[in-house]
Amino acid sequence: MTLNKLTILSLTFITLLACSCSKTEESVTGTTTTSTDVPAVYKKIYGATSITSDGTYIYIKTNNLPDHKSAYYATSNALYEAYSGTTFGGNTFKKNPNTIAEYNATLKIPLNPKVDASHAATPLGAIGIAINGVALFNQYAGPNNQALTNEIGGFDKYYGHPQNTGVYHYHVEPLYLTTVKSTKAGLMGFLLDGFPVYGPQEENGTTVTSSMLDVYHGHTHATTDYPSGIYHYHFTADAPYLNGSGFYGTPGTITQ
Ligand SMILES: [Zn+2]
Ligand SMILES: [Zn+2]
């Protein structure tokens, strides 16, 4: 890397820092009426473009571009990396024809998530967001509950893939987050109902399986992020991987 490039990178970094500072000041001084304090746990969504709150909902903006290498980036992208080998479940990687594209979206999720007796079914498309800003999808490949079976071999080295319009997403454990950015027991993101998603292990090292969870694929206990306990989903190695029979709580919305 040349000195010039380094300088540009440093300047970019400083600019980014300056931006987040001024946003903080804005909310502290009350110059905006819609921004209230965002609890620290949401700041773990490091890949978001912005995170704000109106005291009832958290608004998370994202461009949905993964921060890790992928065989699905255009070959001209610095994060493109050819891949051959195995992927989730020991399947041999076989690339699908799609290429990662930006997907600008705003998720509106409840600040204080609550159980909802109607347990709405999860839709196709994004049902939540990972801490790197990437969409989380449910356990189906398409309409009428098509099984993921034939798609799993298309998951890249970090277990994500883009759909036909280029929206990159994870259906299963996001391996970059559980091995590089966080741990197997770390906070992985949130579903649209505001309940958090954890990796495939508990903080004591126990591997979580679907049989240990309810039909929505979660359970309630304390975590480091929520010392007084919270309902949370877990990624598991066995189906349905992230969510079972619908949202545990009332889902918010995603707008483009
Ligand atoms: Zn998919
Ligand atoms: Zn748990």
163 and 51 fall within a common domain: yes
184 and 202 fall within a common domain: yes
130 and 9 fall within a common domain: no
208 and 138 fall within a common domain: yes
At 93, list the tokens: 């990687």
Please tell me the distance from the alpha carbon of residue 60 to that of residue 47, in angstroms, as a whole number. Answer: 10
Render pLDDT for 178-214 as a digit per residue (tens, 0 to 9): 999 999 999 999 999 999 999 999 999 999 999 999 9
Binned at pLDDT 50, 70 and 90, residue 36 comes out as confident
Q: In this prediction, what percent of the chain has a pLDDT beyond 90? A: 86
7 CA from centroid of ligand 2 (Å): 44
Q: Are strands 135-136 and 168-170 parallel, antiparallel or unpaired?
A: parallel
Pinpoint the alpha helices (H) of 30-137.
none
Number of domains observed in the structure of the chain: 2
Render pLDDT for 144-157 as a digit per residue (tens, 0 to 9): 999 999 999 999 99
135 and 22 fall within a common domain: no
164 and 196 fall within a common domain: yes
234 CA from centroid of ligand 2 (Å): 7
95 CA from centroid of ligand 1 (Å): 12
Ligand with smallest separation from the Cα of 140:
1
202 CA from centroid of ligand 2 (Å): 6
Mean pLDDT, range 29-52, rounded to an integer: 81
52 CA from centroid of ligand 1 (Å): 28
Ligand with smallest separation from the Cα of 206:
2
Which residues face 168 on adjacent strands? 162
27 and 56 fall within a common domain: no
> What pLDDT is recorded for position 19?
40
At 119, list the tokens: 């347990």
The answer on pLDDT for 87 being more than 60 is: yes
13 and 41 fall within a common domain: no
The answer on pLDDT for 17 being more than 80 is: no
- Read off the pTM: 0.86
Give every CB contact of residue 217 below 8 A, 6+ residues apart in sequence: 210, 233, 234, 236, 240, 241, 242, 243, 244
Domain hosting 15: range is: 1-33
213 CA from centroid of ligand 1 (Å): 23
Ligand with smallest separation from the Cα of 204:
2
> What pLDDT is recorded for position 203?
98
Q: What is the mean pLDDT of the chain?
A: 90
Please tell me the distance from the alpha carbon of residue 56 to that of residue 173, in angstroms, as a whole number. Answer: 29
142 and 154 fall within a common domain: yes
Ligand with smallest separation from the Cα of 169:
1
77 and 13 fall within a common domain: no
DSSP code string of 141-204: EETTTEESTTTGGG--TTSEEE-TT--EEESS--HHIIIIIS-TTSEEEEETTS-EEE-SB-TT
The answer on pLDDT for 70 being more than 70 is: yes
> What pLDDT is recorded for position 31?
42
3 CA from centroid of ligand 1 (Å): 41
161 CA from centroid of ligand 1 (Å): 6
Ligand with smallest separation from the Cα of 217:
2
The answer on pLDDT for 20 being more than 90 is: no
22 and 103 fall within a common domain: no
39 and 27 fall within a common domain: no
